[in-house]
Amino acid sequence: MQYISTRGAAPVLDFEATMLTGLARDGGLYLPEHVPPMTQAEIAGLAGQSYEEQAYLVMRPFIGTAFGDDEFRGLIAKAYAGFGHPARAPIKQLAPNHFLLELFHGPTLAFKDFAMQLIGQLFQAALARSGARVTIVGATSGDTGSAAIEAFRGLDNVDVFILYPHGRVSDVQRRQMTTPGDANVHSLAIDGDFDTCQALVKDMFNDFAFRDSVQLAGVNSINWARVLAQVVYYFSAGVSLGAPHRPVSFTVPTGNFGDIFAGYIARQMGLPIEKLVVATNHNDILHRALSSGGYVTDGVKPSISPSMDIQVSSNFERALFDAYGREGGAVAQLMDELKQGGGFQISQGALEFLRDAFASGRASEEETSATISRIAEATGEVLCPHSAVGVHVAEAHLSATPMITLATAHPAKFPDAVEVATGTRPELPARMADLFEREERVTRLPNDLAAVQDVIRERRGA
Ligand SMILES: *Cc1c(COP(=O)(O)O)cnc(C)c1O
């Protein structure tokens, strides 16, 4: 299995190299040259298997010879052993034909644990074999950072540096990043918003001298291995509700477009997904782009669903690549326009392709809060604000096909917004009850590439 860049000018890589590098050297994102299809019988055969076995069967064709079969099974088993639910991704019913896929039973209470716990295992296995040492640098709006730190803390051949926007993550999110005491974990609070952090990370990857000197590796949702790990729960949920014999639909609370893009891959592999709905908060660039064809940034407005406070939605580039007939040059030009002028116009043909693949909707702050209180009253299920954005948007897309909304985080990760909506403060699971007593460790830095690079050079182990 070979991987190619969305900008068409980076080396073609195998799975292991794609995973270890993250961003392609031409600034693009890696995608499989061909998406391997699953037959109807193979999809039907997933029903009734453990989540781990489903993960093995869905991901195996993508990894080539990077890991042996038994080794890969073992790494998957370790990745999900720490989850707080035996089903890993359980489904609850909210209303007639509307289901909630709970993806928050991992160690940091957000769906990002599904991918991050697995790539922690895959990195460790690959690096132990080669003896190489890498520096992981990631930008976070809150949940990626804690998931990455939890997955890589204490590992031998890895240092982790996480950039988060100072003052713009929840207290629980911040403490999950600043309280692990491991020497290889470094939390950096940056003066700016998420897009500032993401731009700093991209600039570090494009500084090849720096990139090579510290062996930079990226685990943001641009990393293909993360997208791949997320493909699995679309299958697990789909087959529980009747696929491949009947279609299902999904609504996905969306920021960087990684999670919903995994659904798009599941559909390409053969899972019959009727609607794939992008749900945004008031930072609705994706909803506006799909509605009007204009992808135009206009500044991030803080919201009660901060993990979706994003204007430059990185993985959308992967969808654009397909929408433009896999012409890397066309994608590179759009991304140039975005960087120079803050936006671009999607061509008519590409827009039709995207509208065929994705529906979309947005939830205002008031709608999000009202959804949390209404669903709690009607069903007893307490939604986090991101999941509530999804449920609100999904309700406009219900049909005879089962709708599955992804619940992306545990409500206790965002207790203030939930308390305002329901009157009750959601409690952290017992295993995290002492989070607010642990000591914090963090370095505050300006939005300055050289300053961040200096800290990384200085702190990383040799
Ligand atoms: C990261 C995150 C999202 C957005 O996911 P993307 O893959 O960036 O679209 C939504 N909800 C929560 C809770 C998250 O942590």
CA of 89 to the centre of ligand 1 (A): 16
CA of 247 to the centre of ligand 1 (A): 24
The whole-number pLDDT of residue 142 equals 78
The closest-lying atom of ligand 1 relative to the alpha carbon of residue 384 is: 13
Asked if residue 452 belongs to a domain, the reply is no
Q: How far is CA 385 from CA 300, 344, 436, 460, in A?
A: 17, 30, 22, 36
Joined together, the tokens standing for residue 113 give 């644990």
CA of 319 to the centre of ligand 1 (A): 17
List pocket residues of ligand 1, CB cut-off 6 Å: 110, 112, 143, 221, 253-259, 307-308, 386, 408-409
Range of the domain at 103: 91-107+227-422
pLDDT tens digit sequence for 368-421: 999 999 999 999 999 999 999 999 999 999 999 999 999 999 999 999 999 999
Stretch 434-452: mean pLDDT = 96
The whole-number pLDDT of residue 179 equals 96
* Percent with pLDDT over 70 in the chain: 100
pLDDT-derived band at 312, boundaries 50, 70, 90: confident
Judge whether residue 293 has pLDDT over 90.
yes
CA of 111 to the centre of ligand 1 (A): 8
What 3-state class would DSSP assign to 177? helix
The closest-lying atom of ligand 1 relative to the alpha carbon of residue 413 is: 13
pLDDT-derived band at 11, boundaries 50, 70, 90: very high
Residues 6+ apart with CB under 8 A from 374: none
Cis geometry, peptide bond prior to residue 244 (ω within 30 degrees of 0) = yes
The closest-lying atom of ligand 1 relative to the alpha carbon of residue 112 is: 15
pLDDT tens digit sequence for 41-59: 999 999 999 999 999 999 9
Q: For the chain, state the CA radius of gyration.
A: 20
β-bridge pairing 403-407 and 248-253? parallel
Pocket test for ligand 1, best of 149, 162, 256 (most atoms within 8 A of CB): 256
Asked if residue 320 belongs to a domain, the reply is yes
What 3-state class would DSSP assign to 99? strand
Asked if residue 359 belongs to a domain, the reply is yes
Just list the catalytic residues: 112
CATH of the domain at 96: 3.40.50.1100
Separation of first and last alpha carbons in the chain: 33
Pocket test for ligand 1, best of 104, 143, 303, 311 (most atoms within 8 A of CB): 143
Stretch 453-458: mean pLDDT = 96
Contact 101, 405 (CB under 8 A): yes
For 12-42, give one letter per residue: b (16+ CB within 10 A) or e: ebebbebbbbbbbbbbbbbbbeebeebeeee
- Residue 139 carries which side chain, given as an amino acid letter? A
Pocket test for ligand 1, best of 111, 177, 219, 413 (most atoms within 8 A of CB): 111
- Can you state the angle between helices 143-152 and 112-130, rounded to 10 degrees? 40
pLDDT tens digit sequence for 313-370: 999 999 999 999 999 999 999 999 999 999 999 999 999 999 999 999 999 999 999 9
Cα 221–chain centre separation: 5
The closest-lying atom of ligand 1 relative to the alpha carbon of residue 310 is: 8
Asked if residue 149 belongs to a domain, the reply is no
pLDDT tens digit sequence for 190-218: 999 988 998 999 899 999 999 999 999 98
Asked if residue 114 belongs to a domain, the reply is no
Stretch 70-88: mean pLDDT = 97
Asked if residue 220 belongs to a domain, the reply is no
pLDDT mean across residues, the chain: 95
Strand ranges for 331-418 from DSSP E:
343-345, 359-362, 403-407
pLDDT-derived band at 125, boundaries 50, 70, 90: very high
Stretch 159-188: mean pLDDT = 94
Asked if residue 350 belongs to a domain, the reply is yes
Asked if residue 121 belongs to a domain, the reply is no
pLDDT-derived band at 462, boundaries 50, 70, 90: low
Judge whether residue 461 has pLDDT over 80.
no
CA of 139 to the centre of ligand 1 (A): 13
pLDDT tens digit sequence for 127-146: 999 999 999 999 998 789 99
Q: What is the dihedral of CA 339, 340, 342, 348, to 10 degrees?
A: -90
Domains in the chain: how many in total?
1
d(CA 65, CA 429): 39
